[in-house]
Amino acid sequence: MPDAISSPRAANLAWFALTILCLVAGGLAYLSGAFAFARGVWVAGALPVLMALAVSIVRRLLRRDFGVDVIALLAIGGALLLGEYLAGMVICLMFATGQVLEDYAERRAQREMSALLGRAPRSASRYEGDGLMQVPAEAVAPGDRLLVRGGEVVPVDGYVDSALAVLDESALTGESLPVRRARGELVRGGVINVAAPFDLVARASAADSAYAGIVRLVAAAQRAKAPSTRLADRYALFFVLLTLAAAGAAWAVSGDVVRALAVLVVATPCPLVLAVPIAIIAGMSRCAARGIVVKSGGMLERLAQGRVLFFDKTGTLTSGRARLVALEAAADFDPAEVLRLAASLEQASPHVLAEAIVSFARQRGLRLAVPADIHEEHGAGLVGTIGKRRVAVGSHAYICGHAASADWVDGLRKRMSYEGAAGVFVAIDGKLAGALLLGDEVRLETPHALRQLRKAGIERVVMVTGDHRDVADSIGDALGVDVVLAEQAPADKLAAIEASRRHAVTIMVGDGINDAPALASADVGVAMGARGAAASSEAAGIVLLTDRLDRLAEALAIAQRTRRIALESAVAGMAMSAACMIVAAFGWLAPLAGAIVQEGIDVLVIVNALRALRAPPAAAGTPARLDPADASRLMHEHNELGSILDRIRACADRLPALADAGANIELAEVDALVRERLLAHEEDDERVLYPRLERILGGDDPLAALNRTHREIRRLARLFHRLTRDAQSLPVLPADTVRELQRILYGLDAILRLHFAQEEELYHTLAEVA
């Protein structure tokens, strides 16, 4: 709706009531024979709308902003000048009706956001001494122990300190089902406890909690400028000139000015002016319901046109948090006991890796002891007493000051460098007991999200990171991104995005302060998470309130559907109006009848635009059948690759007995077979075969498990290639290298055989479906 009637909602309802009242009152007076009074009532109802339109157009022109509402001004003014008072009143009702419908869409959008604001926690139950004290949420400090009763909102971020918590996280994540959180798991403020009371240890104050950041973002989005109507304004000048030309031609040819008025009446641009912003507002509402804050309608439109996607690695494609990924224990130590003792000692350290180790041990259900006699060397490690045992944890150099190194350490450190993992070594009673490997794991939803984004039309995926090349390539290979840009400073990220923007609409996804320049430079900046004070959230045009990358795929799908509905509504409305203009130009449609027809067109296109509020209908089913000839061909390919699997297993079996030169030749040949045959086969499956199977199977990502297996195959193949390449330069293969090569080869053999069996069963099942 144009600015002319963009007053508060109560005033809009008053305008709507006034136009109806004047239209009905004038109609009754006309039917009773009081023709002059009826005309006066209609003029009295139309003049305020005419004046408001005139003021709006002048204001827009002063801003050098040209819109299509000039047609409405001419139509209403012309109707009054030519004595078509009822037609003018109907046009006014058309505008008032459109405003009420737009208000409805805005209320739906704000309802999703206001639900977040209304759930902001106000108070907390804090343990003090032997009892509980009700305190304001702002008074909670990190380390406070709180009680969260059933039905209460969790006041701050914290860790569960009871056996179990069952939570409604829908306000933050959009997930409708309750979520179970075990002892030691992180819970974010703003979620609701839907089961028994539980204890919570505060991790942050209320102001620093995730929910407070969400509230700040939502409040800023509500204060922001109304969604852009740029999509409508692109056609404004063309449509105005077309309308004026048609009206002028009708008048010139017929000599009847009423025909020109009829053309203007049916050209009144409500379909163009209303349909686009209503659809965009509706799309923003859908995004808000899924935990996605879109700061402007123009941003939603640009997202729909995105074709190139840049991802930061840490915190975006990966979790951004250290997690224990492997535990290595010496032969005479129990791995669980090594973890328990290390985690018990790490409770005394503020280091981020210490937090990850303690959290992992608690998730395993280990009972941690209180450390004593602690001595810490910052940045290196710490030593202390756990029960009757003396334990040291830290870097390899630090541990060597407390225990002798071991033969297996060199191989482990090489593996750490390949995988980009950090190692925390553990010594117990003066002996090297093991090592804990920590890494930044790929998010569980990342592979699925990338596949969904490609389906939605993303043509090129680029991973940009400041990490070393080896680490970046490892993650990029596992995820199948198109380009990996490693060792990038913020200025380098900015340059890469600016270069991409010259060729296609570019989306940048990041979460760190160093991503802020790139987020601001991209056509669409998307920030992960809800830390309202973070520079990334401030610079981005879209913020995912929950740290789930698959929400970006949802946002893209919503944006594309919203833009499609907006274009459908605008184009269909203009086409129907153009057809009516032709009819009116020939004198077959009077101004009053044209106004009524145009009102019907308005209702149709606005109702269509409101479809963007609803979730899209389920995709139509596809025939659940694979051609038997295709199934036979695929199984034949597996049979041909079977000889390579046999070669992998044979190489692993006899590797220790081979002479060093023979071992290097055998390893190089197997490596070439794996990379040139097996990996090529798996990549072809993902690119060509799996999309066909997904269409047959239906549902949401039906081949997620098989795609996950492909990632593990690529990871093992990359490790094997690196070890094989390094072995070529060694005169003698160390025993630990031989064992690591055997471990990888046996793993590849097992996972490939299982994967082939799963695929063959799937092919056979789909080929047998009638």
Give CA–CA dist 108/86, Å, rounded: 33
Strands 198-202 and 158-160: antiparallel
pLDDT of residue 251: 86
Q: Is the pLDDT of residue 193 over 80?
A: yes
The mean per-residue pLDDT over the stretch 84-110 comes to 71
**Residues with catalytic roles:** 312
Q: Is the pLDDT of residue 3 over 60?
A: no
Which of 229-243, 673-687, 756-770 has the highest mean predicted lDDT (pLDDT)?
673-687
Q: Hey, how many other C-beta atoms are within 10 angstroms of the C-beta on 115?
A: 14
The residues with which 126 forms a beta bridge, in sequence order, are 133, 146
pLDDT of residue 628: 66
Write the pLDDT tens digit of every residue in 200-250: 999 888 777 766 666 665 555 445 444 444 455 556 667 777 778 888 888
Write the pLDDT tens digit of every residue in 490-539: 778 888 988 998 999 999 988 765 676 778 788 888 887 654 334 456 66
Give CA–CA dist 495/96, Å, rounded: 48
Report CA dihedral (463, 468, 474, 476) to the nearest 10 degrees.
10
Single-letter amino acid, residue 236: A
Give CA–CA dist 743/749, Å, rounded: 10
The residues with which 465 forms a beta bridge, in sequence order, are none
Task: Name which of 190, 194, 155, 164 is nearest 178 in CA terms.
Answer: 194
Whole-structure pTM value: 0.62
Residue in this structure with the two tokens 């104050």, named with its chain if needed: 205
Task: Name which of 635, 569, 571, 580 is nearest 605 in CA terms.
Answer: 569
Give CA–CA dist 294/280, Å, rounded: 11
**Tokens, residue 593:** 């009848």
pLDDT of residue 768: 53
The mean per-residue pLDDT over the stretch 451-480 comes to 84
Q: Mean pLDDT, the chain, as a whole number?
A: 79
pLDDT of residue 512: 60
Give CA–CA dist 337/364, Å, rounded: 12
Reduce the DSSP state of residue 705 to 3 states and report it: helix
pLDDT of residue 116: 54
- For 30, how many CA atoms within 13 A lie in the half-sphere containing its CB? 13
- Split at pLDDT 50, 70, 90, the class of 379 is low
Write the pLDDT tens digit of every residue in 591-619: 888 878 877 887 788 788 878 777 665 44
Across the beta sheet with 542-544, the strand order is 292-294, 542-544, 524-528, 506-510, 308-312, 460-464, 483-485
Single-letter amino acid, residue 183: R
pLDDT of residue 91: 78
Residue in this structure with the two tokens 């004026």, named with its chain if needed: 244
Strands 164-168 and 192-193: antiparallel
Reduce the DSSP state of residue 145 to 3 states and report it: strand
- Split at pLDDT 50, 70, 90, the class of 384 is very high
pLDDT of residue 4: 42
Write the pLDDT tens digit of every residue in 308-322: 999 887 777 877 677
